[in-house]
Amino acid sequence: MRGMNTPTLEDHLRDLGLAARAASALMARASAEQKSRALVHLARLLIEQEAALLQANQQDLDQARSKGLSGPLFDRLVLDHKTLVTCARGCEQLAMSPDLIGEISGLTQQPSGIRVGQMRVPIGVFAMIFESRPNVTIEAASLSIKSGNACILRGGSEAFESNKALTALVQEALLAAGLPPLAVQRVDTTERQAVGLLIASPQWIDLVIPRGGKGLIERISKESKVPVIKHLDGNCHTYVDASADVAMALKVVDNAKTQKYSPCNATESLLVHEAVIEAFLPEMAKRLLAKGVELRCCEHTLGVLQDALPKLGVAEGALGALKLATEQDWYEEYLAPILSVKAVAHLDEAIEHINHYSSHHTDAILSENHSHVQRFLREVDSASVMVNTSTRFADGFEYGLGAEIGISTDKFHARGPVGVLGLTSLKYVVLGQGEVRT
């Protein structure tokens, strides 16, 4: 916590802001070698200092238990050997990946003789506001270092001691590489007003990245005076077209829904072309019911399934997991073993439904019809549009982008998984030999 010599929250945040601005100028001109050295050093510290880190984490866990925290919220708070090793490997991978800062692209000569291109540069200072999982400290810090930015981290109060210990290691690693330790800082208080002050400080902060519940993100988006990279929710669709390969569709939809229920890229809504309902849906439903998935169906598909499933040997009792969907279901991100199911009469209806109800995160078509695939790719207005594969692939590592700091459902600046590139900007460089404008 802030000491007695730091009387107000405003003073504390101004100190953080001033230090971040100063550090960002140094980070912007740091060499690739220095940034890699800091990341490799950090990886080593995460392994070497495991005992101290787990001890700090234990304080948070004790505190959480005394407050009655349990279940997934408690689990997400836990730092263990495996998490630390994963964090360390992530830092090493980033260290070895190419440094994109300073790269000049598209340098072409213009009729006047000047050569014009674009140079990739850091954004400056970003603030990351997150809840619960302390390893986000390392993910954010390592991406910040690699991209040549400075950052201010504001983790959840429940992980205060863990985040404090992790940030101290990051600063030690920066110092060891000859970089400014205050390039990564944390808000040293659990006072709630800190978030409001951070997002109202464009003089210090160029970008805000909230990660957490929908309520937190909506509030920050609404109130921020600083650009926000936001990821609201993932109401992802898979549309099974009339021409879909049924065997492939059974496999892909199963994966998209049941491989894991909690990620934002899991499919929450299944659209099925009327022509393929008989051939596909009963068998699909049978498999999903067997895994304990509840199906919230439109009238048409509900009727088909209630009729067909008993003939496939599904017990009467299991049919209780078939329910009639409400209008609200089409908007829902369940993050649970629930799937909404809807019949559509044609491709246009599928595209319109998705563009209306989707959260513009990730939507997929399963189809062998080339024209339909082209139209779906072009007309569905989501950060990721997929063909003949599982929405679960929407992820920075699966896209070959490396670690991600979030998945943007915005259209502005960064869209989809946001990694190092999303933390940079392009400025124009113009090289002349004395040309003047006439």
Whichever of 27 and 53 has its CB closer to a second copy, that residue is: 27
Nearest distance in Å: CB 318, a second copy: 24
Nearest distance in Å: CB 62, a second copy: 36
Distance CA 166, CA 140 (A): 11
Of 212, 189, 184, 190, nearest in space to 127 by CA: 184
Nearest distance in Å: CB 282, a second copy: 21
Whichever of 46 and 276 has its CB closer to a second copy, that residue is: 276
Whichever of 79 and 339 has its CB closer to a second copy, that residue is: 339
Distance CA 282, CA 309 (A): 6
Distance CA 249, CA 255 (A): 10
Distance CA 388, CA 400 (A): 19
Whichever of 333 and 379 has its CB closer to a second copy, that residue is: 379
| Buried-state track 416-426, b at ≥16 Cβ within 10 A, e below 16 | bbbbbebbbee
8 A C-beta contact, residue 148 and residue 174: no
Measured CA to CA in angstroms, residue 297 lies from 281, 289, 325, 376 at distances of: 11, 13, 5, 23
Whichever of 212 and 227 has its CB closer to a second copy, that residue is: 227
Nearest distance in Å: CB 434, a second copy: 4
Nearest distance in Å: CB 172, a second copy: 27
Nearest distance in Å: CB 283, a second copy: 16
Nearest distance in Å: CB 65, a second copy: 34
Whichever of 235 and 390 has its CB closer to a second copy, that residue is: 390
**Structure-block tokens of residue 107:** 């340098």
8 A C-beta contact, residue 268 and residue 288: no
Measured CA to CA in angstroms, residue 338 lies from 232, 244, 289, 292, 380 at distances of: 20, 23, 10, 9, 23
Whichever of 57 and 224 has its CB closer to a second copy, that residue is: 224
Residues within the interface to a second copy (CB under 8 A): 25, 28-29, 102, 108, 110, 112, 114, 116, 119, 121, 123-124, 206-207, 222, 225, 227, 245, 248, 251-252, 254-256, 259, 355, 364, 375, 377-379, 381-390, 392-394, 398-400, 411-413, 415-417, 425-438
